[in-house]
Amino acid sequence: MPRILTGIQSSGEPHLGNVLGAMLPAIEMSKRNESFFFIADLHALTTIKDREVLKTNTLTTAAAWLACGLNTETNILYKQSDIPQVTELMWYLNCLTPYPMLANAHSFKDKAKQLSDVNAGLFTYPVLMASDIILYDAEIVPVGKDQTQHLEITRDIANKFNYLFGNTFIIPEAKTDNTNMIIPGTDGRKMSKSYNNTINIFADEKVLKKQIMGIVTDSKNLEDPKDPKTCNIFQLYKLVASDAQTQNLISKYQKGGYGYGHAKNELFELIINKYEKIRNKFKILMKDPKHVEIQLQKGAEKAQEVANSVLKKVKSNLGLV
């Protein structure tokens, strides 16, 4: 049974793209494999510089995992910063990581162009990510396509360590098949917190409705027949709806006399109904941060055991002990 591990940065409230593209597929896999899921709050520090924002994001990300059905009896959910061994290992890995490999990373180059605060944490982001993965003997890492280069860097560093200091780490593999699906945002681009085009399925009805009403459409009149293939509302609807519901909406579009406002209302109702249980569970969890914290602590204790045993081997192989 291979060990699966993945992390999500606590950089904001998880949206429909995160839930359908990353969380639900990973939870599905966790039913068959022993899985490690963590909230990458140390990575979030590269961009978030506000104590309350970081705390809230960490809570919402943990609550979202739990609300989506992650079973913490059979899996391990923890906060990255609760296992300080990860930053210790990062230092050892830093000393093996060639400078040009980090300087050429796409994600660093993109961020360096976009952000005004280009800090050393952004630069060494992939080394912390490598440490996140190999500290727990992870074998399979489900990630979005944007993360595959980080996985290549992880493999390079782990291989170099094994070559220089003897077999120490398992070489992990990225699994991108389940996350290949790109969920479009309200403007038709990839849904992303950084594009401000998200549908926050955990938000209050009012916020959710406003986001759905903001979906960009063409300017066809109510009477006109419409093309579902080019419509952003339909693209989202079909990801959530059953086949019968989708067919029904296609007929309405093609017949005409059915406006985009109607379609938006229908999408809103669908999301509210489909995710009613998840939304309620999330609300209950957000009112009980203690309970969420206890789940994270329980996960941290289990994660710590693996981290300690791997780190002991690392230090001995390095000649530190």
CB of 198 to ligand ADP, least distance (A): 7
174 pairs with which residues across the strands?
141
Is 191 a binding residue for ligand TRP by CB under 6 A? The answer is no
Return the residue nearest ligand TRP (CB atom).
7
CB of 43 to ligand TRP, least distance (A): 5
Nearer to ligand ADP, 197 or 295 (CB): 197
Of ligand ADP, ligand TRP, none, which one does residue 132 interact with (CB within 5 to 8 Å by kind)? Answer: ligand TRP
- Separation of alpha carbons 166 and 103, rounded Å: 27
Of ligand TRP, ligand ADP, none, which one does residue 61 interact with (CB within 5 to 8 Å by kind)? Answer: none
In Å, what is the CA distance from 97 to each residue of 1, 59, 101, 168?
30, 33, 7, 16
CB of 96 to ligand ADP, least distance (A): 26
Nearer to ligand TRP, 74 or 194 (CB): 194
292 near 63, Cβ under 8 Å? yes
Of ligand ADP, ligand TRP, none, which one does residue 21 interact with (CB within 5 to 8 Å by kind)? Answer: ligand ADP
Please choose, out of 46-54, 129-137, 202-210, 258-266, the segment that lies near ligand TRP by the rule CB under 6 A.
Answer: 129-137
Is 97 a binding residue for ligand TRP by CB under 6 A? The answer is no
Is 26 a binding residue for ligand TRP by CB under 6 A? The answer is no
Neighbours of 238 (CB within 10 A): 16
- Separation of alpha carbons 225 and 252, rounded Å: 8
CB of 200 to ligand ADP, least distance (A): 10
Q: Tell which residue, 262, 263, 266, 258, has the closest CA to residue 223.
A: 258
9 pairs with which residues across the strands?
40
- Separation of alpha carbons 168 and 135, rounded Å: 10
CB of 257 to ligand ADP, least distance (A): 32
In Å, what is the CA distance from 121 to each residue of 5, 87, 292?
22, 12, 28
- Separation of alpha carbons 135 and 127, rounded Å: 12
The total number of residues shown for the chain amounts to 321
Of ligand ADP, ligand TRP, none, which one does residue 43 interact with (CB within 5 to 8 Å by kind)? Answer: ligand TRP
Is 129 a binding residue for ligand TRP by CB under 6 A? The answer is yes
CB of 128 to ligand TRP, least distance (A): 7
* Residue 130 burial (10 A CB sphere; 0-12, 13-18, 19+): buried
Residues that bind ligand TRP (CB under 6 A): 6-9, 40, 43, 129, 132-133, 141, 143, 147
